[in-house]
Amino acid sequence: MKLFLDTADRQLIKKWVATGVVDGVTTNPTLLSKEGNDCKKVLLDICSMVSGDVSIEVVKKTPQDVYKQALEISKLADNVVVKIPFHQDYLPVIAKLVQEGVEINVTLIFSLLQSLLVAKLGVKYISPFVGRWDDIDINGITLIGEMREMFDNYGFDSLILAASLRHLMHWHDAALAGADIATIPPKLLEQVMNHPLTEKGIAMFDADWQKLNKAELLD
C-alpha cells in the first residue's frame, strides 16, 4: 500500500517526506485555503518537495471551464494529478482528458457503480470517501472491499485511493480491504509514530542496557 499525505501544509509535508514513508500528497480547496492567498506558489512548492504524485483539485464548475483548468493544472509540474469530483456533466471531460494523457483522480466517490463508471474511462485514481459514509451510519470500508473485488474481476487499471480516513482504524481497515493507496492527515502518522507500547519498550531496553555499564554494543 502506498501512503499519501492529505494536507497542503508545507512544513508537515517536509517533516514526513524526510521519513521516507510518504509516496505522494493530496490537496483540496479546503486544505489550500488554510495556506494563504498564493495558491500557485504553495502548489509548486509541494510538487518540488514530493517525488510522487500530487493531486490538485479543479475549482471551476462548468464542463468547459473544468476542462480548461484541468489542462492548466496538469502543466504545473510533471508529478501533478488533476482531481475532479464525480459528476455526470464531468464524465465527457474526464474521458477527453484521459485520452489526451492527463492523469486524473476522480474524487467524492460514494458508490460502487460510480467507481465502475470512472474506472471504465481509465482514470489513474478513484477516491472513495470512507469517513463521510460513516457520518450517515454506513460502513465506508465495505465500499473499498467491493471496489477491490470488482476491479480484480474486470481487470481495471485504476487505483483505489482511500480518502476521508479520520482515525487509525479507517487506515487499518482500508489496508486490509485492498486499497492501493491511503491518503491520511498528518495527525494519523503522528499517532502511529508515538505508540505508547513502543515508547515503553524502548525505555525498558535502555534501562536493561545501562545495567551492563558498557558504552558500545560491540566492545
Residues assigned a catalytic role: 83
The CA-based angle 74-77-78, given to 5 degrees, is: 90
> In the structure grid, which three cell numbers stand for residue 182, read together?
491511503
Spatial contact of 161 and 180, defined as CB atoms under 8 Å apart: yes
Q: Yes or no: say if 113 and 136 are a contact pair by the CB < 8 Å rule.
A: no
**Is there a contact between 144 and 178 (Cβ–Cβ < 8 Å)?**
yes
